[in-house]
Structure 1
Amino acid sequence: GESKGIYQFSFDTRTGKAGKVSLAAETPEPSFLAIHPDGKHVVAVNETSEWEGLENSGGISAFEIDSKTGELILMNQQPTRGAHPCHLVIDSSGKTVLVANYTGGSVIGYSILDDGCLGEASAFVQHKGSSVLKPRQASPHAHSINIDPTGQFAVAADLGMDQVLVYKFDAAKGTLVANKPTGKKVAAGAGPRHFSFHPNGRFGYVINEINLTVTAFAWNGKSGTFKEIQTISTLPPGEKPGKGMSTAEVRVGKRGRFLFGSNRGHDTIVSYKIDRKTGKLTYVGNYSTGGKTPRNFGLDPSGRFLLSENQDSGTIHVLKINRKTGELD
């Protein structure tokens, strides 16, 4: 059936066993969420094109976690001033949340108050540009927003512009100002979607939705600049993308030794070994997600399990990570 909102379940990090799923909060189209650093609050986007009578806007909702039941208590909501917000990040101080609006092609920041409520908007940037694949890339589509390990820069992957944009981020004020240079282009028609920094702060990886690749970058945390290292397919060597295939999520593993990415349509997780000196990726393998359309996946806190979230089969499939080889089982 149709989703009613945000769901919760228990997970045993020793065995990889998941418990019963239950509804945590009813809320419209919560396609992406983040847990606050205090562990007591959650912020989620509401991926809509209209918000409380405001056209071309989605919403963002702040919740308090009930420590006994795990249910979410709605604190307050704000408009995102751009349609279909699809990704967000909370800074390490817990004082700002940044949101990417996909159809709106923009990013917005909101302050987070001491009680976990959303405050005033602290930043808004409208992207401008397009790329080669029309109509898909006829306008900007901000697909994700991340903060670098220094906490001084924010990085937005824009699928419509084929560009990874860099902003100077002021954590105290929650503001965003375009960096110089403004970012880095990827191959025309690649469609950058999600991004993951290496914990050592020297590398970053963008997964390209349209051409099913990952681009590895060297990252300079002082100047906020990228240098491309390589681009590698997310499919098995020699295999070409089939109709209806696209990538979705990318995440560096807990210890920074491996990188994982999800393939929709192919319905696999790809694993690469990371050279921690150069940032270069070496293909390990592709592993079944046990369901259809892995729009996202998470890594458990122990770094031993990968949880594939399969949108079109409505399931979560648990894979065990071999921490020596990067293979999944």
Structure 2
Amino acid sequence: MKRSPREITIEESSPDTGAPLMISPPRIFSALATFCWLSLGSLAFAQEGVQPFYIGTYTSGDSQGIYLSSLNLADGSLAPPTLAAELDNPSFLAINGTHDHLYAVGEVSNFKDKASGAVSAFAINQDGTLKLLNQEASGGRGPCHVLLGPDEKTALVANYGGGSFVSLPVAEDGTLKPAASVMQQAGSSIDKSRQQGPHAHGMFLVPGTKLALGADLGVDKVMIYDVTDEGELKTHDPAFIAVTPGSGPRHLATNKSGDKIYVLNEMASTVDVFQFDPQTGQSQHLQKLSTLPEGFDGNNTTAEIFLHPNGKWLYCSNRGHNSLALYAVDPETGKLTFVEHASSMGETPRSFQIAPQGKHLLIANQNSSNIVVYEINQENGTLTSNGHQIDVPNPCCIDFRFD
């Protein structure tokens, strides 16, 4: 019999391997789980010392959509996950600055009989549940990333299958309007198995500007766009930052001043460091480092990259090696020095997120359906498992709500 999603500890492990015991959650929640959901809503949004967060998933298995949990800041434990909204393949989420709306991609190839995915707008209720406001076509197949623009009046979307970057205006009531611009990518790169065409993988803002950067795995470029006041994307001059052919840029991070860009390359398992002029868009390559240990010869693709809020440490996830790579950031040059690899305590760490207070890091292991909590050493950024984890079906995104 399957068990309901709950918190488990690392001590609950396989006697043969010592690996965490993975428990698949049921597709339909019981009355008890519903009661826990209502209790969680009360605690997560009213009790001090509890940080709520949402979990995006793939719904090909037991998942039904977007889930809600919370992090106890005192002991690092997690609340049992509960269903916040039903949605097909909500693989990436974005919460607005006033924390009352959530936007989610629907990573599908057909929406309302169009060759497109979907983007959904939700109102966040007081108990943390989500109310669907409306949905719009994403402007391309397989949307995998959503971000709110510089003034949060625009939702910026990357369509992996369709190979396009799209902007959708956000109305005053939080609903989405139809796409204002669709920047269809073109071209290919040297790996014909994965780079036969464009594959837009993520959009990211340059702090203090109206520049948006779009990582395209298929053409080995990070595109540079201006976001207009009307919510449109315009090609910047220069139009892109190039990476080594065959790298496959996926996600990126910028420092707070916007003059350093860290590009995570999915296919090559590398990080590129660029000096960047946020006023002109000019860039200079500074450094390239592997995310893998020397001598590793297994299959691996990278997934997520984040700078710690203090700017001192950079983390990247490895799917295959099943780890997070940690680098120290030089405060003057922005260059990286490798520090450690930390096990993800599961399979395929597609996503991770640093809690707003900067003391905890949560890893979402997609294929083992668990989210694991780590304590961040405030002196050197190293990670130590605190023994807490929860079962969540096919997790692929974590987004904290700041209250």
Task: Quickly name the TM-score band, shorter chain normalised.
Answer: over 0.9
2:84, 2:94 → 1: CA distance?
Answer: 14
After TM superposition, give the deviation of residue 242 of structure 1 in Å.
1.4
Q: What residue in structure 1 maps to residue 250 of structure 2? A: 193
1:92, 1:65 → 2: CA distance?
Answer: 21
Aligned AA (2:351): N
Q: What residue in structure 1 maps to residue 311 of structure 2? A: 256
Aligned AA (1:49): S
Aligned AA (2:164): S
Does structure 1 residue 59 correspond to structure 2 residue 118? yes
Q: In angstroms, what is the RMSD of aligned CA positions?
A: 1.1
Does structure 1 residue 265 correspond to structure 2 residue 320? yes
- Match of 1:161, SS state, is coil
Does structure 1 residue 309 correspond to structure 2 residue 364? yes
Mean CA deviation greater in 132-141 or 319-328: 319-328
Does structure 1 residue 239 correspond to structure 2 residue 299? no
Percent of pairs identical after alignment?
41
- Match of 1:97, SS state, is strand
2:155, 2:282 → 1: CA distance?
Answer: 23
Q: What residue in structure 1 maps to residue 141 of structure 2? A: 83
Does structure 1 residue 49 correspond to structure 2 residue 104? no
Instruction: Give the alignment's TM-score, normalised by structure 2.
Output: 0.79
Question: 5+ unaligned residues in a row in structure 2: which ranges?
Answer: 1-60, 385-403
Q: What residue in structure 2 maps to residue 300 of structure 1? A: 355
- Match of 2:383, SS state, is coil
Q: Quick one: which of 182, 186, 198 aligns to 1:140?
A: 198
After TM superposition, give the deviation of residue 241 of structure 1 in Å.
4.5
1:297, 1:168 → 2: CA distance?
Answer: 28
Does structure 1 residue 328 correspond to structure 2 residue 388? no
After TM superposition, give the deviation of residue 92 of structure 1 in Å.
4.1
Aligned AA (1:121): A
Aligned AA (1:150): G
Per-residue CA distance 1:160-196 (angstroms, 9 max, x = gap): 00111111122x2111111112111111111100011
After TM superposition, give the deviation of residue 17 of structure 1 in Å.
1.2
Q: Quick one: which of 151, 163, 172 aligns to 1:114?
A: 172
Q: What residue in structure 1 maps to residue 71 of structure 2? A: 11
1:213, 1:30 → 2: CA distance?
Answer: 27
Q: Which runs of 4+ in 1 moved over 2 A?
A: none
Q: Quick one: which of 235, 238, 241 aligns to 1:178?
A: 235
Contact 2:149-2:227 at 8 Å conserved across structures: no
Per-residue CA distance 1:245-300 (angstroms, 9 max, x = gap): 11000011111111000000111011100112111000010001111100011110
Higher percent of residues as strand: 1
Per-residue CA distance 1:297-324 (angstroms, 9 max, x = gap): 1110001111001000111011111121
Does structure 1 residue 94 correspond to structure 2 residue 152? yes
Per-residue CA distance 1:72-96 (angstroms, 9 max, x = gap): 1000000012110001111242211
- Match of 1:157, SS state, is strand
After TM superposition, give the deviation of residue 227 of structure 1 in Å.
1.2
Give the number of equivalent residue pairs.
Answer: 324
Q: What residue in structure 1 maps to residue 207 of structure 2? A: 149
1:86, 1:290 → 2: CA distance?
Answer: 24
1:19, 1:281 → 2: CA distance?
Answer: 35
2:111, 2:266 → 1: CA distance?
Answer: 27
Per-residue CA distance 1:41-62 (angstroms, 9 max, x = gap): 000000001001112x100000
Does structure 1 residue 210 correspond to structure 2 residue 267? yes
Mean CA deviation greater in 172-181 or 79-88: 172-181
2:147, 2:252 → 1: CA distance?
Answer: 12
Q: What residue in structure 2 maps to residue 128 of structure 1? A: 186
Instruction: Give the alignment's TM-score, normalised by structure 1.
Output: 0.96
After TM superposition, give the deviation of residue 235 of structure 1 in Å.
1.2
Does structure 1 residue 166 correspond to structure 2 residue 221? no
Greater C-alpha Rg: 2
Contact 2:137-2:178 at 8 Å conserved across structures: no
Aligned AA (2:212): A
Question: 5+ unaligned residues in a row in structure 1: which ranges?
Answer: none
2:113, 2:297 → 1: CA distance?
Answer: 41
2:280, 2:255 → 1: CA distance?
Answer: 17
